[in-house]
């Protein structure tokens, strides 16, 4: 499966299972059935079930809907997939802020931002 935030990185089975367990716990804490959650995030009950079993990694738009409808910050959801959670604690809120800020940009401006980001050397 492909990580919705970093398409070239695989979240791995452990990350997917942790995400599924977290999703199930969040859903149950809010007294929702899988059908309720599926309706809120505009996905099928089968898709929710597969996510909770760690068999399916949702795309970014689904993660955003989960975040909004379960009232949990997006960075709390995606931090499970970070390879090194200790070093990502500083990065994740910044990355999520950048994602949120880009939503207000035009396609033209997004292409400019993309080129700027690509100009930076890869992190070592």
Say if residue 56 is in the same domain as residue 111. no
Do 17 and 62 fall into the same domain?
A: yes
Give the integer Cα–Cα distance in Å for 101 and 80. 22
Looking at the fold, whether 22 and 58 belong to one and the same domain comes out as: yes
User: Across residues 25-48, what is the average pLDDT?
Assistant: 96
Confidence band, pLDDT 50/70/90 cuts, at residue 102: confident
Same-domain pairing of 74 and 19:
yes
Together in a domain, 24 and 67? yes
Residue 2 belongs to a domain: no
Q: Give the number of domains in the chain.
A: 2
Tens digits of residue pLDDT in 55-101: 988 888 899 999 999 998 888 888 777 654 445 567 767 877 888 88
Which CATH number goes with the domain that contains 17? 1.10.260.40
The reported pLDDT for the residue numbered 33 is 97
70 and 99: one domain? no
55, 94: one domain:
no
Q: 48: domain range?
A: 12-81
Same domain assignment for residues 105 and 57: no
Q: Does the global pTM surpass 0.85?
A: no
Distance CA 95, CA 82 (A): 12
pLDDT digits (tens, 9 = 90+) for 106-123: 999 999 988 898 888 876
Same domain, 24 and 45: yes
Token reading at 116: 């700027």
Dihedral of CA atoms 18, 23, 24, 26 in degrees, nearest 10, equals: 120
124 in a structural domain = no
């Amino acid at each position: 499966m492909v990580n919705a935030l970093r398409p070239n990185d695989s979240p791995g089975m452990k990350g997917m299972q942790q995400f599924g367990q977290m999703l199930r716990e969040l859903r149950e804490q809010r007294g929702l059935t899988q059908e309720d959650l599926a309706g809120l995030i505009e996905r099928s009950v089968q898709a929710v079930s597969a996510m909770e079993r760690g068999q399916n990694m949702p795309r970014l738009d689904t993660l955003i809907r989960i975040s909004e409808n379960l009232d949990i910050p997006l960075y709390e959801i995606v931090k499970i997939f970070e390879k090194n959670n200790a070093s990502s604690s500083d990065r994740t809120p910044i990355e999520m802020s950048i994602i949120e800020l880009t939503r207000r940009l035009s396609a033209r401006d997004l292409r400019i931002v993309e080129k700027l980001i690509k100009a930076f050397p890869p992190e070592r």
